[in-house]
Amino acid sequence: MAISVVMPRLSDTMEEGKILRWLKKEGDRVEGGDIIAEVQTDKADIEMEAFGSGILRKIVVGAGQSAPVGQLIGVIAEEGEDLSALLTPVAGMAAVGPTSIESGASASVARTLEVAAPGRIKASPLAKRLARAQGIDLSMIKGSGPGGRVIRRDLAAVPPSAAAIGQPAPPIAERAVAMAPTAPSAEFEDRELSPMRRAIAKRVAHSTATVPHFYLTVEVAMEKAAELREAMQAQAPDLKVTFTDIIIRAVVMALARYPAMNASFMDDRIRIYSQINLGIAVALEAGLINPVLRDCAKKSVMQIARESKNLVERARALKLRPEEYTGATFTVSNLGMYEIEEFTAIINPPEAAILAIGRIQSTPVVVDGAVQIGQRMRMTLSCDHRAVDGAMGAIFLQEVKRLLEHPFHLILQPE
Amino acid sequence: MADEHTYDLAVVGAGPGGYVASIRAAQLGMRVALVERDRVGGVCLNWGCIPTKALLQSSQVLSLMRRTGEFGIYADNLRADFSVAVKRSREKAERLSKGIEFLMRKNKVTVFSGEARFTSVKELEMIGRDGKTSGAIRAERILLATGSRPRLLPNVAVDGKVVLTSTEAMLLDRAPASMIIIGAGAIGVEFADIYRAYGTAVTLIEMLPTILPYEDEEITALLHRALTKKGITILTNTGVERVTVERGQARVRVSGNGESQELLGETVLVAVGRIPNSEVSGLKELGVATKNGFVTVDERMESSIAGIYAIGDLVGPPLLAHKASHDGIDAVEKMAKLEDVATADSRRIPSCTYCYPQVASIGLTEAKAKAMGHTVRVGRFPFSASGMAITLGETEGMVKVIADAAHGEILGVHIIGAHATELIAEAGLAIALEATPEEIVRSIHAHPTLSEAMSEAALAALGRALHI
């Protein structure tokens, strides 16, 4: 019995994957569980196993090509078995390269995607049609119909800027032509979007378009936190304890005290999470990723330092498993090491807030009427105003500041 | 107050809104009391939908008997006894009312007989027919489903003998020689059809330009023609100035289209709509807000006073039994905080008139759709082109599908003809699932059936009609 090998969904947000390389050639024998290919997703490079045994008879999507989740990428079958039934309906799809998917404008491509992922997105026929016409990616819409089915009214709620994310190319191209029909174009190079870049583009655009952000900034005296860090460093010379680790501990303690910040706005309710899963924004060459420290309410600074070091290293090597970069309930993003004084970060939906950390700088400060040199750090909290109001955000931020300025709280044995 | 008189939910009114809400609430584990002053089943079952449909069945069998010759069947000495038709309709209502009593017992809903009166936000007192208090209950939540009653005209006194409302009109012991019906909505049109079949000279008066004024004009034009052909006199754009009764004879002064005239009739039926029964004793004192007599409710069907809910005719149009039932389920499921509760969307509520030919519709009329700014594609399919309709001898009819030209959203479906009220269910499903004409067409319709007309009308809306 022939087995269709389809592009697997390797993360929640994955919509397509790129075959980095096939580890088996056409004609090779494969056993169930063999690694047959490496796939690049929006988050990581992942090895793909065969689900059954036989001969890899056909590679439909070659190395370097991308395919949407659910699309046929190869066929495993016995020698001499007739594959025409499996291959015929997708003959057209195999020819669809990544570039033509990107252009996304022609009906045939849209239909291909629909066929490729049947039943993946529950949506009414009308919603599908409207989404196609308006270039809205249905996978980004939370359906309000039975069982989360996307219906017409869900699309009406999508603001036009978000609606444009799906297919920005045609209108922009048209506009450019209309505005400067004769102007010589500057030289340029078009870079293909990596799956990760595409996922980032969608997420941030979706977040800024749909999540009403507000920002709160506070300045924190970091002298005592610096002392704590030095003391810890002395105690565990092999382990590098960073300011981020200490800040994370403070954030986790503040979240435990104010669970309203550890929340998601869910359209008709607010979900408060009982577990704290802290995302850490990590810059990569090709983009960024948020590894997640799970259930960290009771983790000490040392534990946080150890686990985050491991996570960050593997994130940089693109070796995270999906469960290690999904499910955060709050994120911390630190750009202090790049000498950024302060910045505002974009919330990762469905999280309700993100804390952006600037650098620690020496500043003249007045203490007891005298000018001294102080160590000051500015941090900015971005909140989803649908879930959290200003005062709540401020109280939370005040608590983080208090903990960092009185860091002995951070090392008291967690209850 | 003793525990056995304490309930999670008390429902006032056992019509299709109240009794359905009671069953659903009981299913969800609530302890439910249902208060009814008359018979369970409400107007729908006792004085509305059910008995009138039974009468229409008699009148339609009679009409069919008159044309059996075309089938090669000859019925000589045809006799019709209207009083038996009325008796039969009462039996059907009785039987269904008994069925609901059974359903209440089965679901452990406690039924109280009496008129409800609020003594506090959470307490009701029942007043018996003798005017004495027959009991009292306390409930965490109270759901009002008291329905509606016929609207009267300020210048027309109903005496129940010559000048009637629908209630008296379904209890006459014989078909009168003549009847003047004021109002050509669903009720007026249905009674016109019933009595015309029994030989009554019927005059149907409507103030607005068309009969069934809320239906699509193309459909009502066809109905107007069909009813006129039966011998019903229809006066549209006509208002009633005065109704007087002299020696058991009604004189109706009407004016319209620039002239005034006096009509004489044995009976007059006032069928100018219905008004909500919002005068529940004690309700006003509690401060429950109303607007034009309808109780104001939010999306959870909760009134301006927390814990007091209202559904059905009491909260506003359309005043239809199936809308009341849907409201009832909706309200109770939201009380129970269930997910995926389907709120009634007035554009998705079918409306049916059971005259012959039947009229059924859902969604917007063509005129309304255009007025709302839609560019529409209209697909029509006449029953005269339907194989099944031809074999049945039911070629008078049409299905009309109105879709938005841009994305195929089905805005409205209008049907006139045999079994229209059954055929509309497919359109309801299509609209509820947000199907477009394309999906209707892809669903294979059995041949030969009248339902093929729906598929063909959808094809026509796509510009691909096969059989016309």
CB atoms within 10 A of CB B76: 4
Count of structural domains within chain B: 3
Residue of chain B nearest A145, judged by CA positions: B340
Does one domain contain both B281 and B387? no
Does one domain contain both B196 and B208? yes
Does one domain contain both B42 and B169? no
CATH of region A213-411: 3.30.559.10
The answer to whether B177 contacts chain A (CB < 8 Å) is: no
Residue of chain A nearest B440, judged by CA positions: A125
Strand order in the sheet with B267-270: B163-164, B267-270, B178-182, B201-205, B233-235
| CATH number where B42 lies | 3.50.50.60
Does one domain contain both B11 and B30? yes
pLDDT at position B423: 98
The model's pLDDT over A134-151, given as tens digits with 9 standing for 90+, comes to: 777 787 778 888 778 888
The answer to whether A224 contacts chain B (CB < 8 Å) is: no
The range of the structural domain enclosing residue B409 comes to 357-461
The answer to whether A124 contacts chain B (CB < 8 Å) is: yes
Tell whether B344 is covered by a domain.
no
Tell whether B327 is covered by a domain.
yes
Listed residues B250, B272, B294: the one ending a domain: B272
Does one domain contain both B234 and B367? no
Cβ distance B435 to A125 less than 8 Å, yes or no, reads yes
Q: What residues of A are labeled active site?
A: 385
Tokens representing B158? 């109903």
Paired residues of B360 in beta bridges: B352, B415
Tell whether B156 is covered by a domain.
no
Paired residues of A76 in beta bridges: A3, A56
Does one domain contain both B256 and B310? no
Does one domain contain both B8 and B143? yes
The pLDDT profile of chain B, 468 residues, written as one tens digit per residue, is 446 789 999 999 999 999 999 999 999 999 999 999 999 999 999 999 999 999 999 999 999 999 999 999 998 899 999 999 999 999 999 999 999 999 999 999 999 999 999 999 999 999 988 889 989 999 999 999 999 999 999 989 999 999 999 999 999 999 999 999 999 999 999 999 999 999 999 999 999 999 999 999 999 999 999 999 999 999 999 999 999 999 999 999 999 988 999 999 999 999 999 999 998 888 888 999 999 999 999 989 999 999 999 999 999 999 999 999 999 999 999 999 887 677 777 778 999 999 999 999 999 999 999 999 999 999 999 999 999 999 999 999 999 999 999 889 999 999 999 999 999 999 999 999 999 999 999 999 999 999 999 999 999 999 999 988
3-class DSSP state for residue A235?
Answer: helix
Residue of chain A nearest B339, judged by CA positions: A146
Does one domain contain both B312 and B365? no
Cβ distance A151 to B439 less than 8 Å, yes or no, reads no
Cβ distance B340 to A147 less than 8 Å, yes or no, reads yes
Domain spans, chain A: 3-100, 121-176+193-210, 213-411
Give the closest-approach CA distance of B412 to chain A in angstroms: 14
The answer to whether B396 contacts chain A (CB < 8 Å) is: no
Mutate one of B348, B434, B442, B443 to test the A interface: name it (highest A CB count within 10 A): B434
pLDDT at position A161: 42
- CB nearest B434 (choices: A125, A133, A147): A125
Does one domain contain both B7 and B114? yes
Mean pLDDT of chain A: 80
pLDDT band at A26 (very low <50, low <70, confident <90, very high): confident
Phi, psi of A337, rounded to the nearest 5 degrees: -65, -15
Q: How far apart are CA B184 and CA B234, in angstroms?
A: 9
Listed residues B231, B256, B272: the one ending a domain: B272
Does one domain contain both B129 and B175? no
The answer to whether A150 contacts chain B (CB < 8 Å) is: no
Domain A3-100 has CATH 3.30.1330.20: no
Tell whether B103 is covered by a domain.
yes
- Judging contacts by C-beta atoms under 8 Å, the chain A residues touching residue B439 are 125
pLDDT band at A159 (very low <50, low <70, confident <90, very high): low
The model's pLDDT over A191-237, given as tens digits with 9 standing for 90+, comes to: 878 878 888 888 898 898 889 999 999 999 999 999 999 999 888 88
| CATH number where B429 lies | 3.30.390.30
Does one domain contain both B136 and B207? no
Mutate one of A122, A124, A126, A149 to test the B interface: name it (highest B CB count within 10 A): A126
ipTM of the complex model: 0.72
Mutate one of B347, B377, B407 to test the A interface: name it (highest A CB count within 10 A): B407
Cβ distance A126 to B435 less than 8 Å, yes or no, reads yes
Cβ distance B342 to A151 less than 8 Å, yes or no, reads no
Cβ distance B407 to A151 less than 8 Å, yes or no, reads no
Secondary structure string (H, E, C) spanning chain B: CCHHHEEEEEEECCCCCHHHHHHHHHHCCCCEEEEECCCCCHHHHHHCHHHHHHHHHHHHHHHHHHCHHHHCCCCCCCCCCHHHHHHHHHHHHHHHHHHHHHHHHHCCCEEEECEEEEEECCEEEEECCCCCEEEEEEEEEEEECCCEEECCCCCCCCCCCCEECHHHHCCCCCCCCEEEEECCCHHHHHHHHHHHHCCCEEEEECCCCCCCCCCCHHHHHHHHHHHHHCCCEEECCEEEEEEEEECCEEEEEEEECCEEEEEEECEEEECCCEEECCCCECHHHHCCCEECCEECCCCCCECCCCCEEECHHHHCCCCCHHHHHHHHHHHHHHHCCCCCCCCCCHHHCCEEECCCCEEEEEECCHHHHHHCCCCEEEEEEEHHHCHHHHHHCCCCCEEEEEEECCCCCEEEEEEEECCHHHHHHHHHHHHHCCCCHHHHHHCCCCCCCCCHHHHHHHHHHCCCCCCC
Same fold, A3-100 and A213-411: no
Q: How far apart are CA B433 and CA B440, in angstroms?
A: 11
Tokens representing B293? 């007599």
- CB nearest A129 (choices: B342, B408, B433): B408
Q: How far apart are CA A62 and CA A5, in angstroms?
A: 13
Among residues 303-362 of chain B, which lie with CB inside 8 Å of chain A? Answer: 340, 342
Cβ distance B408 to A126 less than 8 Å, yes or no, reads yes
How many CA atoms are closer than 13 Å to the CA of A346, on its beta-carbon side? 14
pLDDT at position A71: 82
The model's pLDDT over A164-187, given as tens digits with 9 standing for 90+, comes to: 443 333 333 333 333 434 445 577
